[in-house]
Chains A and B, each alone.
Chain A
């Protein structure tokens, strides 16, 4: 069989029909920074961290279908700078204080910050006022850290069939809400075992009473940088349908 390929930073990357540039790269063992992508869900294209230069134009690699002969740039100073700026903007939009965050060491935003060498937030902090929602007996919501990747929204709707989360507001006012009259998680049928409780890339959706139980040194990204975890992000087998795929 004649394998189709595209060129990524000088490396020929094979791809299967229907794969995105990012999926093909990950499948080939090339790490691609991402926050709103999850192998079990359809691409979302909102965080822009996976941006590459595809045939000379910037595009999100998670939503761009791979095509034979494409010329793709990812690991260039220009693109790395763009990604760093995106991370810095995310870091100032919410309230991210890694030293006292229980997701520290497990957080993709933090891990990408280290990966890409983000040394400072650079921009002025917004310091938004976002109270936590502790109404649920098993799960805490700390909205301070939400990056609006919508993974929880998608997981709750498409996997759990519950529609617990939604977005509200526009532009800079956009924020995550809980679908309940009271707006409280405790008034929904959300459960710790829901898929939506497992997908948050940052420290918003947290199992209660468990914070800091894993010692420093044994946390997910302590031993190796996120790029070394590429295996975990590889696309799932073509036969396995992703959540929300149209039949």
Chain B
């Protein structure tokens, strides 16, 4: 681990907490341990994780899981819905879905990628990127974007809405849909539904292209800065298709070492535990997964758009693939924390192209929806959710009840990587300087680049406490923070 993780004498240090990290959906807490000279000694991104869901689902009938699991996360419920359905395909022995089921699920998934990426870029990230991280707080939000860049903001809203509409049509509802069921789907598209979506499909591709151009421009405006901000080297992992194509719905696992060499490729995700181990640390409830081959110390890795765009061999839709080529040609971008935004928009373009193409595919109107086969006791489903690799793993007994569940969500994979990005930012911008809100916001910007679904990784049964106890590295509670509901910084 790096030297900034644990300070030698934390009791003598002064804490500055940013809490909550505004505009990240969910709740995170960053603790900076500063000494008397305002030098950063220790940095941690705390995520309170109640692994409530895994307990909660025990005893429930397996067919309920894809719907139930959406309670886990208000941010990417569709990804959980699909990852769970994929795991349960194995339980019901559906080794190969019908073309209709496969394509309807893909459509649903691309709808989710489109809406999630649009939301993140336009609502959450663009205020920082357009106005600057140190700009006036009152303006640095989506309202400010709407005022200063009304056209851009409008397109963001409509892209998101379109993605939500794709979800509604395929899943039955925008949230808490039921479309994917073990072995397939419960509906295909009617001609009316398809035509309604087709009407705007081309517009979405055009706007997504513009969004890529904007993200690129914002990155290259000050390429040196964009490259250096919160930069760190990391291994990476994502699903890729059998032909090496970007495939966000299905594929094998590919991991690359930080130098770019492949560690494993097309690895059968149904045995993910052979390559990934989940580590625990005393100061965090959230797990720290690492690549088994490299060990807990060095095996942490990065997932998500940045990884996926670089990790695949090509993107199977032409416009996004062209953008990928440009992205990889931009020196350093593929390893930059701020490169996430650019990569995310390339994926959004891919999703828009994929949606358009699927809408022209007759299979999406097919009637053959569900298959089954020999029952199995264990099921694993992996999907590339908007934020990265998402793993669902269930064991179901002979009475059809879930007896064990294990989930590794994207934000958990990125746990160590986010800590690393914050450390870099702390080194770059906070060490030995007076702490200002603008500087603190640099840390938020670094976290935000990962688009962590904190409420997802931290889902609580019941209500999250608004008071947070601060515990020192040796487990002693030394402080208690009250979280302001207005998102303002609390200093002690």
| Alpha-carbon distance between A127 and B246 when the two chains are bound, in angstroms | 45
Of residues 168 through 193 on chain B, the ones whose CB sits less than 8 Å from some CB of chain A are 171-173, 176-179, 181-182, 186-187
Q: Among B56-64, B204-212, B300-308, B345-353, which stretch is in contact with chain A?
A: B56-64
| Alpha-carbon distance between A227 and B92 when the two chains are bound, in angstroms | 38
| Alpha-carbon distance between A211 and B182 when the two chains are bound, in angstroms | 10
Q: Is B67 an interface residue (CB 8 A)?
A: yes
B178-A134 in contact (CB<8A): no
A212-B401 in contact (CB<8A): no
Q: For residue A208, which residue of chain B has the nearest CB?
A: B400
Q: For residue B69, which residue of chain A has the nearest CB?
A: A100
B172-A215 in contact (CB<8A): yes
Nearest chain B CB to A137's CB is how many angstroms away?
8
B186-A212 in contact (CB<8A): yes
B400-A209 in contact (CB<8A): yes
A211-B186 in contact (CB<8A): no
Q: Is A194 an interface residue (CB 8 A)?
A: no
Q: A99-B71, A100-B64 are in contact. Are A216 and B400 (CB under 8 A)?
A: no
A100-B400 in contact (CB<8A): no
| Alpha-carbon distance between A100 and B63 when the two chains are bound, in angstroms | 10
A134-B176 in contact (CB<8A): no
Q: A208-B400, A215-B172, A215-B178 are in contact. Are A102 and B59 (CB under 8 A)?
A: no
- Chain A residues, Cβ within 8 Å of B64: 100, 102, 211-212
Nearest chain A CB to B279's CB is how many angstroms away?
31
Interface size grouping (class) on chain A: 20 to 34
Q: What are the interface flags for A202-224 relative to B under an 8 Å C-beta threshold, 1 for contact and 0 otherwise? A: 00001011111111111000000
Q: Is A86 an interface residue (CB 8 A)?
A: no
| Alpha-carbon distance between A142 and B60 when the two chains are bound, in angstroms | 9
Say which residue of A132, A140, A213 sits within 8 Å of B186 (CB atoms): A213
Q: What are the interface flags for A116-138 relative to B under an 8 Å C-beta threshold, 1 for contact and 0 otherwise? A: 00000000000000011011000
A215-B61 in contact (CB<8A): no
Nearest chain A CB to B287's CB is how many angstroms away?
25
Q: A211-B63, A212-B178, A215-B178 are in contact. Are A140 and B400 (CB under 8 A)?
A: yes
Q: For residue B185, which residue of chain A has the nearest CB?
A: A215
Q: Is B68 an interface residue (CB 8 A)?
A: yes
Of residues 208 through 247 on chain A, the ones whose CB sits less than 8 Å from some CB of chain B are 208-218
Q: Is B399 an interface residue (CB 8 A)?
A: yes
Say which residue of B59, B67, B92 sits within 8 Å of A212 (CB atoms): B67
- Chain B residues, Cβ within 8 Å of A209: 63, 92, 182, 400
Q: For residue B66, which residue of chain A has the nearest CB?
A: A212
B179-A215 in contact (CB<8A): yes
- Chain A residues, Cβ within 8 Å of B401: 132, 134
Nearest chain B CB to A178's CB is how many angstroms away?
14
| Alpha-carbon distance between A142 and B64 when the two chains are bound, in angstroms | 12
Q: For residue A213, which residue of chain B has the nearest CB?
A: B186
- Chain A residues, Cβ within 8 Å of B60: 132
| Alpha-carbon distance between A217 and B168 when the two chains are bound, in angstroms | 11
Q: Is B311 an interface residue (CB 8 A)?
A: no
- Chain B residues, Cβ within 8 Å of A140: 61, 400
Q: Is B42 an interface residue (CB 8 A)?
A: no
| Alpha-carbon distance between A102 and B173 when the two chains are bound, in angstroms | 15
B63-A216 in contact (CB<8A): no
- Chain A residues, Cβ within 8 Å of B399: 134-135, 186
Q: What are the interface flags for B59-102 relative to A under an 8 Å C-beta threshold, 1 for contact and 0 otherwise? A: 11101101110110000000000000000000010000000000
B61-A208 in contact (CB<8A): yes
Nearest chain A CB to B140's CB is how many angstroms away?
35
Q: What are the interface flags for B158-173 relative to A under an 8 Å C-beta threshold, 1 for contact and 0 otherwise? A: 0000000000000111
Q: What are the interface flags for A46-64 relative to B under an 8 Å C-beta threshold, 1 for contact and 0 otherwise? A: 0000000000000000000
| Alpha-carbon distance between A80 and B66 when the two chains are bound, in angstroms | 36
| Alpha-carbon distance between A213 and B183 when the two chains are bound, in angstroms | 11
Nearest chain A CB to B71's CB is how many angstroms away?
6
B172-A100 in contact (CB<8A): no
B70-A100 in contact (CB<8A): yes
Say which residue of A142, A186, A208, A216 sits within 8 Å of B173 (CB atoms): A216
Q: A132-B61, A140-B400 are in contact. Are A212 and B181 (CB under 8 A)?
A: yes
B187-A215 in contact (CB<8A): yes
| Alpha-carbon distance between A215 and B186 when the two chains are bound, in angstroms | 5
Nearest chain A CB to B175's CB is how many angstroms away?
8
Q: A99-B71, A209-B400 are in contact. Are A216 and B172 (CB under 8 A)?
A: yes
- Chain A residues, Cβ within 8 Å of B178: 212, 215-216
Q: What are the interface flags for B89-118 relative to A under an 8 Å C-beta threshold, 1 for contact and 0 otherwise? A: 000100000000000000000000000000
- Chain B residues, Cβ within 8 Å of A213: 181, 186, 370
User: Can you show 30 pairs from A to B with CB atoms below 8 A apart?
Assistant: A99-B71, A100-B64, A100-B67, A100-B70, A102-B67, A132-B60, A132-B61, A132-B401, A134-B59, A134-B61, A134-B400, A135-B399, A140-B400, A210-B63, A211-B63, A212-B67, A212-B178, A213-B181, A213-B186, A213-B370, A215-B172, A215-B178, A215-B179, A215-B186, A215-B187, A216-B171, A216-B173, A216-B177, A216-B178, A218-B187
Known: A99-B176, A209-B63, A209-B400. 20 other contacts (CB 8 A): A99-B67, A99-B70, A100-B64, A100-B68, A100-B70, A102-B64, A134-B59, A134-B61, A135-B399, A140-B400, A186-B399, A208-B63, A210-B63, A211-B181, A212-B67, A212-B181, A213-B186, A215-B178, A215-B186, A216-B178
Interface residues of A (CB under 8 A from B): 99-100, 102, 131-132, 134-135, 140, 142, 186, 206, 208-218
